[in-house]
Amino acid sequence: MLLNQFLILGALLFSVGVYGVLARRNGVMVLMSIELMLNAVNINLVVFGVQHGVVSGQVFALFVIAVAAAEVGVGLAIVLLLYRNRTSIDVEDFDLMRG
């Protein structure tokens, strides 16, 4: 089967996600990018699972999806909190603490 293609897709998605996390300033966009990374992982897991002919891959993927949802929930909450206090969701702005 097309293992490599899937893996390459996963790698690309992951890279895009990484780029987004590191480059986008909008907090929400950062969260989205993280989702991208996680989904890249999911693709890998599923593909490998099929490759090896075991289900653990899919199971793992399901766990990841579930957890990702929870994470994003928390993430959005925090961003919201920040927006309330600082009326900004630009991650570059938050550097009260440094050094």
Q: Per-residue x/- mask for other proteins, residues 63 to 82, rule CB under 8 A?
A: xx--x--xx--xx-xxx-xx
Residue 15, CA distances (Å) to 18, 39, 84 in order: 5, 12, 32
Provide the token pair at 44.
């890998």
Residue 18 φ then ψ, to 5°: -55, -45
Residue type, 45: L
55 binds other proteins per the rule CB under 8 A: yes
Binding residues for other proteins, rule: CB under 8 A, are 7, 10, 14, 17-18, 21-23, 25, 27, 30, 34, 37-38, 40-41, 44-45, 47-49, 51-57, 59-60, 63-64, 67, 70-71, 74-75, 77-79, 81-82, 85-86, 91-92, 94-99
